[in-house]
């Protein structure tokens, strides 16, 4: 019995340690039109730009074009970026490449941004990221 209780308490403690930061609530952002990413490319300094977002299975995804992907990958803090969404600011968010999610993200973007995506989906999007708070 002690082993069971110890295992349960250990699992609970681990879950608390791995919990997302306060305010990181992707399900609440599904209706947001954009979020803002902030990078710190040496030649530009701090740069903030809006991107579309999709929330799939409780995770936030962004689809980045060539310039945005270059800013994220060339950032001094890469793969970390700043994220501002729905009035919340998160300074340390991992932009984790998610090539396996590309088809689902493209479909979610097409549904959410129907008319605009008719044009945008034809543009290059070399980087699709899952945003993971640190």
CATH number of 29's domain:
2.30.110.10
pLDDT in tens, the chain (134 residues): 554 344 433 443 334 444 567 899 999 999 999 999 999 999 989 999 999 999 999 999 999 999 999 999 999 999 999 999 999 999 999 999 999 999 999 999 998 886 665 555 555 667 999 999 99
Q: How many Cβ atoms are within 10 Å of 28's Cβ, its own excluded?
A: 13
pLDDT value, residue 21: 79
Q: What pLDDT does residue 44 have?
A: 87
Find out whether 53 and 83 touch, Cβ atoms under 8 Å. Answer: no
Torsion of CA 108, 110, 115, 120, to 10 degrees: 120
Number of independent structural domains in the chain: 1
Domain that holds residue 36: 21-133
Please give the pLDDT value at position 7.
Answer: 41
Residue at 1 is within a domain:
no
Does residue 125 lie within any of the structural domains? yes
């Amino acid at each position: 019995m002690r082993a069971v209780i110890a295992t349960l308490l250990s699992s609970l403690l681990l879950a608390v340690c791995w919990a997302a930061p306060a305010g990181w609530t992707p399900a609440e952002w599904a209706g947001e039109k954009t979020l803002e990413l902030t990078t710190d490319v040496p030649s530009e300094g701090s740069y903030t730009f809006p991107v579309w977002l999709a929330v799939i299975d409780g995770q936030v995804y962004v689809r980045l074009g060539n310039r945005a992907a270059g800013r994220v990958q060339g950032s001094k803090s890469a793969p970390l970026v700043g994220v501002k969404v729905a009035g919340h600011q998160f300074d340390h968010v991992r932009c984790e490449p998610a090539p396996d999610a590309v088809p689902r993200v493209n479909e979610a973007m097409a549904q959410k941004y129907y008319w605009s995506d008719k044009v945008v989906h034809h543009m290059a999007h070399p980087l699709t990221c899952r945003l993971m708070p640190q």
